[in-house]
Structure 1
Amino acid sequence: MANTKEIKSHIESVKDTRKITNAMYLIASTKLRKARSELDRTRPYFDALQGEIKRIFRSADDVDSRYFYPPQGAPPLDGTYGCLVITADKGLAGAYNQNVIKEAQRMLSEHPDTKLFVVGEYGRHFFAQHSIPIEHSFLYTAQNPTMERAREISSILLDRYDRGEFAKIFIIYTDMENSLSSAAHCVRLLPFHRAYFRTDTVEKAVAEPFEFVPSVAAVLDNIMQSYISGFIYSALIDSFCSEQNARMTAMDAANRNAEKLLGELSLQYNRVRQAAITQEITEVSAGARAQRSKHRKEA
């Protein structure tokens, strides 16, 4: 049986671990609030972009754009796919990274020639460890998602798409559905379905047709580049929020386990201490009886 000194050492170790998990919980909570406020601050701009795209399709539904399927429908597109995979820079976030990796593996099993563009050290390490080639790795993006970095990612992906190297572009990220759950999603980023920007609401008819300079297609393509950057930025923020939420959940579970372990160790410590005290009392009593017996014999 462990002595009181060993048990006390275990208790102090668990208390130190609990302090660390509490600190990590608070840090994740702060990062989560900050990321959400950044997304809320930029959301109106991209909502306005979406509104302008809808307006363009109301004015010229048959406009041709490389970022959209043609008006008559979505033909099957053969060719290489590009896939942006958003992971974290580190673990300690439950199944957050594993769920994203599973989606990426499913994508690769269905389309083996898919080119991977990876955000996050965890993803880079996993694919390198499993000898899965990475087309491009974006450094220092997972922990600090910004609009500038989203534009950088968008620029690289769009350049490859515009040159015809990719038939489709997908993005695998984690969406925090609510404060209790999140899920990894594989979403087609390009090309878009036109129906995505159509609305069923009845709107006021346009009195005079809009004038697009230099052309409807040029205006639409220009807006779409900004919209895609916003889509990627939103995915980076959503993933970052999901990571912090998963980290908070993991730290909360660790805290509960630490509390349970502390209770068990404290109980064990008290039992061992009480046993030691009882043993000491027994030895003192036995010694006292021996002394009394000796004195009686001498008398």
Structure 2
Amino acid sequence: MASMRDIKRRKSSISSTQQITKAMKLVSTVKLQKAKSRAEETTPYFNHMYATVSSLLKRTGNIDHPYLNKRDEGKKVVITVTSNRGLAGGYNSNIVKLIANSDIPKEDAQIYAIGSKGADGLKAKGYEIKVDNSEIMEAPTYDDAREVCDSVLKAYEEGEVNEIYLAYTHFKNTVVHEPKLLKLLPVEVPEEDGVEEETPKNTALMSFEPNEEEALAMIIPKYVTSLVYGALVEAVASENGARMQAMDSATSNAEEMISDLTLKYNRARQGSITQELTEIIAGADALS
């Protein structure tokens, strides 16, 4: 059984750790409120952007464009969005597992990492880290997303890669965060649930001015950039939500450990007092 001194020292150490986790929880809560508001304000725009481009592509007809055509040769780029800091539960490891368990072969994958934790985890699993833009996660902006997309789209247009994916954590609410893997290019038109009634309005082909190729060359990069920026915004909110939950659990666990150690300390102290009384009584009996 541990001595009273050891128990007291351990209890003091856990109390210090508990103060740290409480402070980190408070900081994460404040950051989460700001990130959550930002995510809620920007999500409608990205949802409408996705719906608009999907609707547009459904009515383009058979257009021969690099952003729409599938290719067999080339690498598969995965833009990963994680954090630069740990202590966020399974937030970072879930993205690493998502990519590792996907259908993307490790030898064909090139990682464009945004967040050092994801880059380190994928590098340890043998993935090629093509570009590391971890500094973006400190304060992500639309311009940062555009720079990343410009470099990736350039490699796609030059034929170095044949597919582009985006791995990030979708922010549903404060306690629910869902890792997602989206295919950005070549653009695929999502299938409708159920049968839509055919009318002249929804079956007429889209009319482009000046032409389809130039219009798509402008629209698709903005579409991809918007999705990447939306992922950055949601990832920041998800990170702070995950860290807040992790620190809350750590604080609760520390409280339970302190209670358990307090009980053990009191028992050890009571045993020590009982032993001393027994020795005093035994000594008094011996003298008498």
TM-score (norm 2): 0.82
Identity %: 32
2:167 matched to 1:172?
yes
8 Å Cα contact 2:99/2:167 also seen in 1: yes
| Aligned mate of 1:121, from 108, 116, 123 | 116
Aligned to 2:265: 269
Instruction: Select between 163-172 and 233-242 the one with higher mean Cα deviation.
Output: 233-242
Amino acid at match of 1:25: K
Task: Work out which of the residue numbers 215, 233, 236 in structure 2 matches 1:237.
Answer: 233
Query: C-alpha deviations, 1:139-182, integer Å up to 9, x for none?
Result: 31234332222112111111111222211111122224454443
- Deviation string 1:75-101 (CA, Å, 9 cap, x unpaired) is 564432111122222322222222222
Alignment match, 1:33: 33
**Which of 78, 96, 105 matches 2:91?**
96
Aligned residue identity for 1:251? M
On the 8 A contact 1:89/1:120 being kept in 2, the answer is yes
Counterpart check, 1:86 vs 2:81? yes
The residue number in structure 2 matching 1:219 is 215
Q: What amino acid does structure 2 have at the position aligned with 1:28? A: S
Q: Name the CA distance, whole Å, in 2 between partners of 1:267 and 1:56.
A: 68
Greater shift in the superposed pair: 268-277 or 238-247: 238-247
SS in 1 for 2:168: strand
Counterpart check, 1:184 vs 2:172: no
Moved more, 220-229 or 51-60: 51-60
Q: Which runs of 5+ in 1 are unaligned?
A: 70-74, 294-299
* Secondary structure at 2:165 match in 1: strand
Report the counterpart of residue 297 of structure 1 in structure 2: none
Q: Which amino acid aligns with 1:223?
A: I
In the TM superposition, residue 44 of structure 1 has moved relative to its aligned partner by 4.2
Counterpart contact for 2:58–2:189, Cα < 8 Å:
no
Does 270-279 or 177-186 show the bigger shift? Answer: 177-186
2:3 is matched with: 3
Question: Is residue 14 from structure 1 mapped to residue 14 from structure 2 by the alignment?
Answer: yes
Answer with 1 or 2: which has the greater Rg.
1
Correspondent of 2:150 among 155, 165, 172: 155
Q: Distance in 2 between matches of 1:255 and 1:29?
A: 14
- Tell me how far apart the structure 1 counterparts of residues 226 and 96 of structure 2 sit (CA, whole Å): 23
Matched letter for residue 217 of structure 2:
D
C-alpha contact 2:22 2:247 (8 A) present in aligned 1 = yes
CA–CA separation in structure 2 for the residues paired with 1:270 and 1:141: 51
Q: How many residues align?
A: 286
List runs of 5+ in structure 2 lacking aligned partners. Answer: none
Query: Is the partner of 2:164 in helix, strand or coil?
Result: strand
Distance in 2 separating the partners of 1:278 and 1:235: 64
Instruction: Spell out, residue by residue over 1:186-213, the C-alpha distance to the aligned partner (whole angstroms, 9 max, x if none).
Output: 221111123469995889959xx99754
Structure 1 residue aligned with 2:243: 247
Distance in 2, matches of 1:132 and 1:125, equals 10
Question: Pick from 220, 224, 227: which aligns with 1:228?
Answer: 224
User: Given the alignment, which residue of 87, 90, 105 partners 1:110?
Assistant: 105
Aligned amino acid, residue 3 of structure 2: N
C-alpha contact 2:84 2:117 (8 A) present in aligned 1: yes
Task: Kindly indicate whether the alpha-carbon contact (under 8 Å) linking 1:82 and 1:168 is maintained by their aligned counterparts in 2.
Answer: yes
For residues 211-259 of structure 1, the C-alpha deviation after alignment (integer angstroms, 9 at most, x for no partner) is 7543343233312222211101122233333333332332222222212
Match runs of 1:277-292 below 5 Å: 277-289=273-285
SS in 2 for 1:142: helix
CA contact (8 A) 1:56 1:216 kept: no
